[in-house]
Structure 1
Amino acid sequence: MPATAAQSSPGGDVAAFNYRHLYYFWVVAKEGGFARAAQRLDMAIQTISAQVRELEKSLGHQLLKPQGRGVTLTEAGDVAYARAEEIFQIGQRIPQEVMQAATVPTIRLSVGLSDGISKLAAHKLLGPALQESQLKLVCHEGEIEQLTAELALHHLDLVLAGQPAAHNSNLRLSSRLISSSDVGWFGPSQWVHKADVDQFPQSLSRLPVLLPTAHSPLRASLDRWFDELQIQPRVVGEFEDSALMSVFGAGGLGVFPASLIGRDDLSLMKGLKLLGQSEVKEEIYALYTRRSSHHPLVQSILQTAQA
């Protein structure tokens, strides 16, 4: 347990804050009195009392007040106790977590997923990493600007996005196209009938359609495709997250586009049928840094995609 830490007071002065004093206060508050705390800590009551007084002096407020044969918390003490409870509860977990980390080898892979790309396709592309038995996978979703900033700071090992990284000499990021897959249209059986399949893609003008939001590169490609075919889709929903769009589509809201590279995973959603295949392709880029390119799982993902 650290003995002291520097803490800025509201006036700007730096006061010494002693975590050992905080620990004694925490035990006294949990035990309801100095006598029981002294018995638990195997220390003299006077020593513990002096330590708690030092804590109150450093904080500038009384934390405990007498109640019967014991003590109770003041309002200021309630606040201090709540924070001390968080600190020391976490501290009690440290030995177990350290032991677990030391005895169970893991290979950590932190991946950022741009919110506009197909999550089913991303799952497929991460397949080589998922075969690692000691894998600890951490996935973050967000906008590409946020994810590339995290990648540049080495908080992420890899980012999958629908576009390459913007040129920025300060970030020093590399991009590689790892997937260019045809986009199919899927929907629940209540919307996908033989006539709709036969008349695809014109049938999209009368069926309820779900689309990615405008920030997605795929949406721009779909809009151009609609314009070329002079189709006015009946849009009933727009989604930033492609996985959420698939869930609502499978639930009956409408038909939706999905990269065919993730078609196998769509089979997990019962009742979905293929309406048709468009001429639109969804491109997915892998973004990485020079350092993260040496990560064995990043290398495996890139090499598999290239092959």
Structure 2
Amino acid sequence: MNLKHLRYFWVTARAGSVAAAGKQLHLTPQTVSAQIKLLERDLGTTLFIPVGRGLELTEAGRLALSYADEIFALSQDMVSSLRATGVKEQAAATFRVGISNVLPKSLSHRLLLSLRKSAKPVRLVCRDGTIEALLGELALHRIEMMLADRPMPAGLAVRGHSRKLGESALAFFASPRLARQDAGFPACLNEAPLLLPGQNAAVRGEIDRWLGEARLYPRVVGEFDDSALMKVFAQAGEGYFPAPAIISDEICARYGVIEVGRLDDVRDAVWLISTERRIQQPEVDAVLKAARSAVFNIPAGSETAG
């Protein structure tokens, strides 16, 4: 694929018409149109359809634009990094991390804080999403590593490596006006409104199992794939909710809730997943060490691989 053709397509998609793109590129509209036709021929698909006096992207065109955005962003990163080699002050290297949306944001921040304190400047790029989407990004090397609540599933055509950073007991929280004073934990959950992580969260099955074994029957009023959104609902007094006990103080201070009890036999884990070629990167090693010592209080050398 000719990157010059791709650039003409990219500018045209952003400008909305061949004429506008031609002005930006200092080329005639005929030249731009011809170059885009060559790209469409190479790709074997149509990227634009005429709409009035402008152009509209096809489904293939929208997909191509998303890749082109990343390609030219990376090219700009390359230019910036190469130009910085002659400067005494070292340019910050970009390090891309995927974060599963079921992980608490404050815990993710604590795990990645070590990258901001490294001797080598790092520009951190965080991408939030489902574990399935992030594994796709990892396979295409669009991210260097990812944080998730489970290891990489078996059977994937990705040569990857999973390491457990640590685990925490599960605590339950509620706004002060909702927390029942007449019943201790866990009886206070019975028939009470409950906010839960979505079915994609690894800990969800353990919570459901525990509720059944304890013969507790709360009213599940909400399920959330995004842990931060669940806490916002709880802050408004919508229900009790679970979260890792290791960040209890931060949750209570930020959302104005109180901890009503915790379960030592239900554990919420955090895993670091990277492709095999990334395992030895100093940034990955920094996250591993910070998680073991500062976050989970695990002695060095006792991490779990998967």
Q: TM-score, normalised by structure 2?
A: 0.67
Over the matched positions of the two proteins, sequence identity in percent amounts to: 30
Deviation per CA, 1:130-155, whole angstroms, max 9, x where unpaired? 33483322222222222122212211
**Equivalent residues in 2 for 1:191-210, closer than 5 Å:** 191-196=178-183, 199-210=184-195
Are 2:54 and 1:79 equivalent residues in the alignment? yes
Residue 232 to residue 101, structure 1, CA distance change in 2 (3 Å)? farther
- Supply the AA of the counterpart residue of 1:175: S
The answer for the alignment partner of 2:134 in structure 1 is 147
User: Highest Rg: 1 or 2?
Assistant: 1
Q: How many residues align?
A: 246
2:218 to 233, 246, 256: 233
Q: Per the alignment, in what secondary structure is the counterpart of residue 294 of structure 1?
A: coil
TM-superposed deviation, 1:127: 2.6
The answer for the alignment partner of 1:131 in structure 2 is 117
1:122 to 108, 116, 122: 108
Deviation per CA, 1:88-140, whole angstroms, max 9, x where unpaired? xxx9xx99995698456113221112233333322222232233483322222
Residue 97 to residue 22, structure 1, CA distance change in 2 (3 Å)? farther
**Equivalent residues in 2 for 1:157-306, closer than 5 Å:** 157-168=144-155, 170-196=157-183, 199-279=184-264, 280-306=266-292
Are the aligned partners of 1:212 and 1:240 in contact in 2 as well (CA < 8 Å)? yes
Q: Aligned equivalents of 2:236 and 2:83: distance in 1?
A: 44
Are the aligned partners of 1:216 and 1:240 in contact in 2 as well (CA < 8 Å)? yes
TM-superposed deviation, 1:25: 5.0
Unaligned runs of 5+ residues in structure 1 are 8-20, 29-40, 42-50, 60-74, 81-86
Q: TM-score, normalised by structure 1?
A: 0.67
Q: Aligned equivalents of 2:21 and 2:197: distance in 1?
A: 56
Q: Aligned equivalents of 1:57 and 1:113: distance in 2?
A: 40
- Supply the AA of the counterpart residue of 1:114: S
Are the aligned partners of 1:120 and 1:263 in contact in 2 as well (CA < 8 Å)? no
The answer for the alignment partner of 1:26 in structure 2 is 23
- Supply the AA of the counterpart residue of 2:54: V
Unaligned runs of 5+ residues in structure 2 are 8-17, 36-49, 56-67, 85-89, 293-299, 301-306
- Supply the AA of the counterpart residue of 1:222: I
Deviation per CA, 1:186-206, whole angstroms, max 9, x where unpaired? 11111124334xx11011113
Q: Aligned equivalents of 2:272 and 2:3: distance in 1?
A: 46
TM-superposed deviation, 1:22: 6.7
Are the aligned partners of 1:211 and 1:239 in contact in 2 as well (CA < 8 Å)? yes
TM-superposed deviation, 1:184: 0.8
Q: Aligned equivalents of 1:54 and 1:161: distance in 2?
A: 49
Q: Aligned equivalents of 1:57 and 1:214: distance in 2?
A: 48
Residue 52 to residue 294, structure 1, CA distance change in 2 (3 Å)? same
Q: Aligned equivalents of 1:216 and 1:57: distance in 2?
A: 48
Are the aligned partners of 1:185 and 1:276 in contact in 2 as well (CA < 8 Å)? yes
Residue 228 to residue 130, structure 1, CA distance change in 2 (3 Å)? farther
Deviation per CA, 1:50-83, whole angstroms, max 9, x where unpaired? x748549959xxxxxxxxxxxxxxx999538xxx
